[in-house]
Amino acid sequence: MPSSRLIARAVAGAALATLLAGCHANQVVDSGYPVTVPDRHPIRIVEGRAVHEVLIGTGRGTLTAVQRAELTAFAGNWRRRGTGPVFIEVPAGTDNEQAARIASREVRSLLVATGIPGNGISLQPYQPFPEDTLAPLRVVYPVVKAEAGPCGVWPDDLGVQDMFHQAENRQYWNFGCANQKALAAMVDNPADLVQPRREQAASAARRQTVVEKYIKGEDTATKVNKSQSNKLSDEVDQ
């Protein structure tokens, strides 16, 4: 009898342990903490401002050749990125106010020449601070842009915290924020982060070449002339 009771207790203990182990395995603990970097620092699509500054001296009311070329390139981007009218902001109450106001006429003519409608260009003053600086003439238009952050937020101590947080082995809050912010600043078209672009047509000439080689039973891979390929190590050794 005693041995039977011991065996029964052992079997009951094993069954209870198995039951508890199964309950623990099926239990999902969710602390609500954003685990991935995009969850903590998502890249947002917002409307911002594209700004181009033109420095105008007090004794000059015209643009230099370099300033015309830079402004032409900036105005060309308006057709691709602009989402609204263009504003020419002229400094007010500064020593170069008169020169900047005269130069704004040339700026407007240059913008119209690049394809921006004249009725979509507005002139408005702005008050720089401090007033004794050489305030630039600014050309501004709204654009769609991507941004992330702010970075540098440290809600938790990186040192020893309570055991529950340590057991999660989670990433600290600011981890990955700089990468997200840099990616948002470098992306050329923020729409690429939302949806892919349409597939471009294949090269008809290259496709015909591959098909002809396939019919002849030849290798369809691109041939590389090894005599014209140089490694960086070869150039350095010379």
Q: What is the pLDDT of residue 1?
A: 47
> Model confidence over 118-149: pLDDT tens digits?
999 999 999 998 777 789 999 999 999 999 99
Q: Is residue 105 part of a domain?
A: yes
- Beta carbons of 124 and 89 less than 8 angstroms apart: yes
Q: Is residue 19 part of a domain?
A: no
CATH code of the domain covering residue 36: 3.30.1330.60
Question: SS3 for the chain, per residue?
Answer: CHHHHHHHHHHHHHHHHHHHHHHHHHCCCCCCCCCCHHHHCCCEEEEEEEEEEECCCCCCCCCCHHHHHHHHHHHHHHHHHECCCEEEEEECCCCCHHHHHHHHHHHHHHHHHCCCCHHHEEEEEECCCCCCCCCCEEEEEEEEEEECCCCCCCCCCCCCCCHHHHHHCCCCCCCCHHHHHHHHHHCCCHHHHCCCCCCCCCCHHHHHHHHHHHHHCCCCCCCCCHHHCCCHHHHHHC
Q: What is the pLDDT of residue 24?
A: 47
**What is the arithmetic mean of pLDDT over 16-37?**
61
Main-chain dihedrals φ then ψ at residue 62, nearest 5 degrees? -125, 165
> Model confidence over 42-98: pLDDT tens digits?
999 999 999 999 999 998 889 999 999 999 999 999 988 899 999 999 999 899 999
Mean pLDDT, the chain, rounded, equals 83
Q: Is residue 98 part of a domain?
A: yes
Q: Is residue 155 part of a domain?
A: yes
Domains in the chain, number: 1
Q: Is residue 231 part of a domain?
A: no
Q: What is the pLDDT of residue 4?
A: 64
Res 176 pLDDT > 50: yes
pTM of the model: 0.63
Residue span of the structural domain in which 127 resides: 31-195
C-alpha–C-alpha distance, residues 176 and 183, integer Å: 11
**What is the arithmetic mean of pLDDT over 164-180?**
83
Res 27 pLDDT > 50: no
Q: Is residue 23 part of a domain?
A: no
Q: How confident is the model at residue 28 (pLDDT cuts 50, 70, 90)?
A: very low
**46 strand-pairing partners:** 145
**What is the arithmetic mean of pLDDT over 16-44?**
69
Q: How confident is the model at residue 201 (pLDDT cuts 50, 70, 90)?
A: confident
Q: Is residue 87 part of a domain?
A: yes
Q: What is the pLDDT of residue 171?
A: 86
Q: Is residue 170 part of a domain?
A: yes
